[in-house]
């Protein structure tokens, strides 16, 4: 099979797995802190069908691949009733942070597995090796999960970063910040159009690559 086709397939698999873990982490942590809304709706699941958003999971990633941009997007938001949380402000921040944290945990697991492969087989794995497709998959997993985590930490509604930032704001500024929510998608499009988001995720990818190849 052509390498380009293999990479596209692997990107789709990794992306769907990454968003499923991300949203499951939101749902599980919300249930842990007192709100079982998402859990009762079956959102603690690695089945991507439960998390698919037509725009964020299908359209945006397809357009990104079409124009050669980094694969990114989002899943269907995990429903949460903040009034049921034991500590509304703190727990809302923690539930929001759970998604990106879960993606970083995947990255650490990928680095460990990948490092074992490199220590066992060396850094120059030939294409005919059975391990070669695994290295492509691990590369994709590291890259996509870092981008997904960083992207969701942007303080733009309705991304996770906006909920985390909101928790640090005084009440007066929270009300002003909430007024931006109806314009969140437009702000997000503007950020993707005019900002170089690579400035945020490239240093993180370099850090994990350093951990991966150090001592190999």
Phi, psi dihedrals of residue 57, rounded to the nearest 5°:
-100, -25
User: Which residues are part of the catalytic machinery?
Assistant: 23
Question: What is the rounded distance in angstroms from the CA atom of residue 71 to the CA atom of residue 22?
Answer: 16
Closest C-alpha among 213, 155, 215, 199 to residue 181: 155
**Nearest by Cα to 62 from 12, 13, 5, 16:** 12
Can you tell me the distance from the alpha carbon of 149 to that of 201, in angstroms, rounded to the nearest whole number?
9
CB atoms under 10 Å from CB of 2, counted, come to: 7
Give 82's DSSP letter: G
Burial annotation 159-174 (CB, 10 A radius, 16+ → b, else e)? bbbbbbbbbeeeeeee
Q: 44 Cβ partners below 8 Å, 6+ apart?
A: 24, 27, 28, 31, 38
DSSP-assigned letter for residue 182: G
Which residue has tokens 């951990």?
Answer: 211
């Amino acid at each position: 099979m052509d390498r380009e086709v293999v990479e596209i397939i692997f990107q789709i698999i990794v992306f769907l797995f990454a968003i499923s873990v991300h949203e499951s982490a939101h749902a599980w942590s919300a249930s842990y802190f007192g709100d079982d809304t998402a859990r009762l709706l079956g959102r603690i699941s690695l089945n991507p069908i439960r998390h698919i958003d037509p725009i964020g999971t299908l359209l945006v990633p397809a357009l990104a691949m079409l124009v050669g941009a980094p694969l990114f997007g989002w899943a269907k938001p995990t429903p949460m009733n903040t009034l049921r949380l034991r500590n509304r402000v703190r727990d809302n921040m923690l539930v929001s942070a759970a998604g990106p944290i879960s993606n970083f945990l995947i990255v650490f697991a990928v680095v460990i597995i990948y490092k074992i492969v490199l220590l066992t087989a060396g850094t120059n794995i030939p294409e005919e090796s059975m391990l070669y497709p695994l290295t492509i998959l691990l590369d994709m997993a590291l890259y996509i999960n870092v981008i997904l985590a960083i992207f969701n930490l942007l303080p733009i509604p309705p991304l996770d970063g906006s909920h985390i930032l909101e928790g640090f704001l005084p009440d007066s500024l929270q009300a002003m910040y909430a007024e931006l929510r109806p314009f969140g998608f437009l702000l997000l499009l503007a950020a993707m159009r005019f900002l170089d988001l690579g400035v945020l995720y490239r240093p993180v990818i370099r850090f994990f690559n350093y951990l991966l190849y150090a001592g190999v």
